[in-house]
Amino acid sequence: MEDLSALVALARERYGKLDVLINNAGVMPISPLDELRVDDWDEMIDVNIKGLLYGIAAALPVFRTQGFGQFVNIASTAGFKTVPNQSVYSGTKFAVRAISEGLRQEAGDRVRATIISPGFVATNFAERITNQSVKAQLERSRDAVAMPPSAVATVIAFAIEQPPDIEVGEIVIRSTAQKVRTRLMRARR
């Protein structure tokens, strides 16, 4: 919490205001529930949910005082659908969406809240997965269908660039290859 408060204070000191806070911290050390990796579960809850809440706590009072501001909260397509080995991660991303929607409803007409839910992004997110078969499967999927991080940045910029009285509530973004692969996997079942 202190780091986020310091970041918000630095932005206000340097620029005189805070226009946008992007809550993009997230971890996903996924594994089967049977492995009982409670420390990993705690970490996902601490970073993915509490990190979001700490960002809101740091910026919301500033936005209220200024009379404007925007949250951009990064969820995931896992926040729409749970699949094996991703139960806890998916639960944290469902929570990001729920908290963000509540924030949007409570924010009034001067503070905007946007949820961005990316599919696979070409990052190193799989490196901390300890279950080697889960890690390999996720890396294969990522390598086959992932979009570049710049695609997510472009969508974030789109949401921010809207006029102050326009709120982009939620955007789901994934590569067209991921969409096709998902349909093929469903057809095989």
SS3 173: strand
For tokens 């226009």, the residue is 19
Torsion of CA 177, 128, 170, 61, to 10 degrees: -160
15 is catalytic: no
What's the DSSP call for residue 146? P
Evaluated on CA atoms 120, 104, 112, 48, the torsion sign reads negative
For 83-138, strand residue ranges (E) read 111-118
Contact 33, 89 (CB under 8 A): no
Out of 89, 94, 120, 125, the active site residue is 89
Active site residue ranges: 89
